[in-house]
Amino acid sequence: MDLQKLLNEMTVDEKLAQMTQLVPQIITDKGEGAVTGPMRNFGITRKVTSKIGTLLGGTGAEQLKFLQDFHMDEDPHKIPLLFMADIIHGYRTLYPVPLGLGASFDTELAEQCCAMAAKEAVAGGLHVTFAPMVDLVRDARWGRCMETTGEDPYLNSKMSAAMVRGFQGENLEKDKIAACVKHFAAYGACDGGRDYDAVELGDRTLREFYMPAYKVAVDEGVELVMTSFNTLNGVPSSANKYLVDDILRKEWGFDGIVISDFNAFYEMISHGIAANEKECAKKALDATSDIEMMSTCYVKFGKQLLEEGEITEKQLDDAVMRILKLKEKLGLFDDPYRGASVEEEKRLHLCKEHRDLARVAAEKSAVLLKNDGVLPLDENVKKIAVIGPAADHGMIGGWFCCGTVAEAVSALDGIKNVAKNADVKLAFGSTFDPNEKPEAVADRIAEAKKLAAECDAVVLCIGEEMDMSGESHTRARISISDAQAELVKEVCSVNKNTVTVIYCGRPLALEKINDISPATVIFWHPGTEGGNALANLLFGRVNFQGKLPMTFPYEGQSPYFYNHLPTGRPNGNGGYCLRYLDTPYEPVYPFGYGMSYTTFEISSPTLSSNEMTEDGEITVFVNVKNTGNVHGIETVQLYINDVTASVSRPVKEMKGYQKVALAPGEEKTVAFKITLDALKFHTFSGEYKAEKGKFKVFVSNRSDVKEFVEFKLV
Ligand code: GLC
């Protein structure tokens, strides 16, 4: 296809329509923009919708083939539609929410899961996913924790690259889809953890913590970048020339598509940086935003801006060319349906291979926080109670795309599938209501307690319902509810053989139950195969290996993160130091923490040298031994601390991790290479470099390790 020729034949109106994304129901309204209805709300008519460039949120081979036909009949240049949707943790077969996938510390798994999602999405007619979402997050109150892989830039970067590879492959092969890294930038740093709230960040912190995972996605060849709703230092990302044009395009060399978030252009007005939609259009285009999602500033005012000399046709041509190039790369001009196929949907969606992968992902994402001898449960247990609001339905998680609860395996069913001869009983005890008081469900708690007393083992399934995390689901308080805590207390008072499984899309404050429950598992929102994965874990068919990708704080500590600065009065130095009067300083559970059914011994680290030159490297060695009696996988983590530098440096920064599989009694030497790159940081003057001096090296299976060795950069 001669794209330049096609572009030259397009009118300004056609170019502006090509730069607009709406939902399917708007374009299929055959009316001429009726007096009411969606088109009317946007102030557009069929003149625009018949030439639109891309649709948001349609799914399914049949529907998307119809929409493509509908559109191609009318589009004067027969330019196929681009179909985009949120495939965040699976298309139809759902794996754990990304925060859970992050807990696996397994980038190969993440890549496999995204590849599986891409295959299912291609059959469903999709071309682009609005993923990976790689916003670093430090505040558990933010509902969108569930979509991220947590608080660490190193882990987020590893996961970001793996997810882009999984979705896109090498070159958008036929079973791949284009990925859209989001939300650029620093959306997770919103004030108070409040979704959509302002973000104020110094450039160093922005670049050191929040930018790496986006940059890695760009370096991996991600096709699209979505700008975020939030202001960054006073300017909404859609209009933020510094962010999008200076950094993303010029500094990083990104020449793919920049798409806004939903209605974000129009929201510049409520942000108070644009007086009207015309100004929104101008600001967005000057920031090189190519596609306007679900608002119509471009199509309504682009032509006027051009005529008034406020924008240039080249700006439009650059944007449209980027869109046409992606359509060409996806092969849409040759085959507008691409891989849409009802037969393929039937063959692939929820097939055994995909369900197996989803189950393995849920198994690897689960984090064992505590186990006072309760786990693993005995498969020959006679009577077992499954209790709690999360017990009887599949906890698939938010952003579930085409996945359904009905197709998911609940904890109850998963346990029945493994403990085939057991009498498996169900009770609810409490609801998910975070404000629920014990007295409101006293009868149900009493019923659950009575049942627990009659059983050999109890699996408590509590935490957050799927719709309690995700977009615009900020929580000011992240504690387990009083009613759920009472349920745990009452059940554990009559049955010590109890495990508490916590379903969540964010870290929860666990202090109310932490000392009461003899065994506790973080199971996130595990997706379609959650119940089977949980049963395999609880009965010991599979061992735990997950590690926390975010700190689990006490209520009131958020935002809390392990890689914080030391300050002049670090915690523990007596009264005048970093501390709370009413809450411990350390979190309930630290980043990187997670137990296994076996135990591991990690030796003190040794260094290949205690000095390193700028062109040299140092190797760190530890010996890891499985000192228990079952096979296990340990995630050995490498942290450094730059002791003295021109700016205050984090007390720890993760610079590597390795997953090590060991049989009982087996031991291995694990080596990490440290080069100059691992020591670099953004100086106050804006350079990115390492500075000579002392560095501490920590190696452990959790971030709150105290022991270290030192070397000097000379
Ligand atoms: C939403 C989200 C974004 C999503 C988009 C399209 O508002 O912020 O993550 O991709 O709209 O659904």
Q: Is the pLDDT of residue 36 over 60?
A: no
CA of 260 to the centre of ligand 1 (A): 9
Q: What is the pLDDT of residue 41?
A: 73
The CB of 182 under 6 Å from ligand 1? The reply is yes
Q: Contact at 8 Å (CB) between 518 and 476?
A: no
Q: Is the pLDDT of residue 39 over 80?
A: no
**3-state per-residue secondary structure call for 420-438:** CCCEEEEECCCCCCCCCCH
Q: What is the pLDDT of residue 34?
A: 46
Q: Is the pLDDT of residue 19 over 80?
A: yes
- Which residues have a catalytic role annotated? 261
Indicate which atom in ligand 1 lies nearest the CA of residue 263: 7
Detail the DSSP E strand segments found in 58-192.
Answer: 82-85, 128-129, 178-184
Q: Contact at 8 Å (CB) between 337 and 82?
A: no
Burial class (CB in 10 A: 0-12, 13-18, 19+), 9: exposed
Q: What is the pLDDT of residue 26?
A: 83
CA of 445 to the centre of ligand 1 (A): 39
The CB of 86 under 6 Å from ligand 1? The reply is yes
Indicate which atom in ligand 1 lies nearest the CA of residue 228: 8
Q: What is the pLDDT of residue 143?
A: 98
Q: Ligand 1: which residue has its CA nearest to atom 3?
A: 261
CA of 266 to the centre of ligand 1 (A): 15
What is the residue-averaged pLDDT of the chain? 97
Region of 308 (left: φ > 0; alpha: ψ -120 to 50; beta: rest) is alpha
Indicate which atom in ligand 1 lies nearest the CA of residue 180: 10
Q: What is the pLDDT of residue 625?
A: 98
Strand order across the 20-22 sheet: 257-259, 224-227, 178-184, 128-129, 82-85, 54-56, 20-22, 292-293
Provide, rounded to the nearest whole percent, the portion of the chain with pLDDT above 70: 98
Q: Ligand 1: which residue has its CA nearest to atom 1?
A: 262
Condensed to tens digits (0 to 9), the pLDDT of residues 542-588 reads 999 999 999 999 999 999 999 999 999 999 878 899 999 999 999 99
Residue 207 carries which side chain, given as an amino acid letter?
Answer: R
Q: How far apart are CA 60 and CA 92, in angstroms?
A: 10
Q: Is the pLDDT of residue 252 over 90?
A: yes
Q: How far apart are CA 535 and CA 424, in angstroms?
A: 12
* Domains by residue range for the chain, with CATH: 31-344 (3.20.20.300), 367-538 (3.40.50.1700), 600-713 (2.60.40.10)
Q: Per-residue DSSP letters for 625-671?
A: EE-SSS-EEEEEEEEEEE-S-SS---S-EEEEEEEEEE-TT-EEEEE
Q: What is the pLDDT of residue 573?
A: 75
CA of 261 to the centre of ligand 1 (A): 6
Indicate which atom in ligand 1 lies nearest the CA of residue 86: 10
Condensed to tens digits (0 to 9), the pLDDT of residues 45-54 reads 888 888 999 9
CA of 106 to the centre of ligand 1 (A): 26
- pLDDT, mean of residues 293-302: 97
The CB of 597 under 6 Å from ligand 1? The reply is no
Q: Ligand 1: which residue has its CA nearest to atom 8?
A: 261
Condensed to tens digits (0 to 9), the pLDDT of residues 681-707 reads 999 999 999 999 999 999 999 999 999
Q: Is the pLDDT of residue 676 over 50?
A: yes
Condensed to tens digits (0 to 9), the pLDDT of residues 622-649 reads 999 999 999 999 999 999 999 999 999 9
DSSP 3-state assignment of 98?
helix
Q: Ligand 1: which residue has its CA nearest to atom 11?
A: 262
Condensed to tens digits (0 to 9), the pLDDT of residues 124-133 reads 999 999 999 9
Condensed to tens digits (0 to 9), the pLDDT of residues 151-170 reads 999 999 999 999 999 999 99
The CB of 196 under 6 Å from ligand 1? The reply is no
- pLDDT, mean of residues 512-541: 98
